[in-house]
Structure 1
Amino acid sequence: MRKTFKTLLLALPLVMAAMSASAADSAVGRWKTIDDKTGETKSIVEISKAANGTLTGKVLEVLKSDKGPNPVCSDCKGPNKGKPIKGMTILWNLSQDKGSTTEWSGGTILDPANGKTYKSKLELQPGGNKLDVSGCITIICRAQTWVRE
């Protein structure tokens, strides 16, 4: 019993290191969204893997908003119209690019500030602590770098 306990105790740091290394190689996690115009942290978004294997992102906290505390997506269309931004899914259907462990594309991102949706792609930067997020309409794109929380 004692030998088993010692073995488990010794193995724990290895397991923890493996788990943190795999997290650094994935966009899954909590991210601080950084405004591309002001450089300010605007919200915390959690990216997770959906049941179908794609990535999805949900706003956990709104830290700064021009619409005051507890903002709603007043410019959204459809089911998000007038809904609180906190708790809203703003990123969905991103698939990992073939042959890449750091790029995802083919998804959609919602900008709750203006209610518009864009084609989206993500690229995890070396080290795993920065995520380049872009949204495009035809050839016009907007990009932000999010920072892992």
Structure 2
Amino acid sequence: MAGSMLALVGAAVMTAAATGAAAGQLTGVWKTSDGGYMEVFNCGQAVCGRISPTLGDLADKQRPDAKNKNPALRNRKIGGLQIMSGFVADQGRWTGGKIYNPRDGNTYTGTLTLQADGNLLVKGCVVAPLCRTQTWSRVTP
């Protein structure tokens, strides 16, 4: 009994460490295909991301989140806004996450896939197959 409990605890620790290591592969600053910059970071056992408050067009960072579906949030600034949440490592991809698009005020389901060339494929879907994919390039680890 004690041996099986120890094996279970060991497996849980190894899984948590592997999830943390996988999430670490994505952390850093990424340049989006439309010229913006995203900061990707660990948030618990998941990966999240925010629009960089300092890199890119600083005037754009001051733009309000005017298309947000919640009127109370429409005056917040785009710079520093967390728009990605809940991405969990799943066999070489990160799935189960959400991506908020301040350009249209909608939130999409998403998938992140790290490519062999080091680029990140970011896919947001209303409902499959109604998806859009961007390729992001790493700026800093």
What TM-score do you get using the length of structure 2 for normalisation?
0.72
Give unpaired runs (5+ residues) of structure 2.
1-20
TM-superposed CA distance for 1:68, in Å, is 5.1
Q: How does 1:1-149 map to 2 (within 5 A)?
A: 26-35=25-34, 41=35, 43-51=36-44, 53-61=45-53, 63-64=56-57, 70-78=62-70, 80-97=73-90, 100=91, 102-128=92-118, 130-139=119-128, 140-149=130-139
Give the letter aligned to residue 81 of structure 1.
R
- CA 1:68 to 1:58, structure 2 compared with 1: closer, same or farther past 3 Å? closer
In structure 1, the residue matched to 2:13 is: none
Kindly report structure 1 stretches of 4+ aligned residues shifted beyond 6 Å.
none
Aligned residues: 115
**Deviation for aligned residue 1:138:** 1.1
Equivalents in 1 of 2:126, 2:108: separation in Å? 6
With the length of structure 1 as denominator, give the TM-score of the two structures: 0.69
Q: Secondary structure at the match of 1:110?
A: strand
Q: Separation in 2 of the partners of 1:69 and 1:48? A: 19
Residue 87 of structure 1 and its aligned partner are, at CA, apart by 0.8
Q: What do you get for the CA RMSD once the two structures are aligned?
A: 2.3
Offset of residue 72 of structure 1: 1.3
Give the letter for the 2:29 counterpart: R
Cα deviation code 1:48-88 (max 9, x no counterpart): 1112x1000011146359x9562111001236422111010
8 Å Cα contact 1:76-1:82 kept in structure 2: no
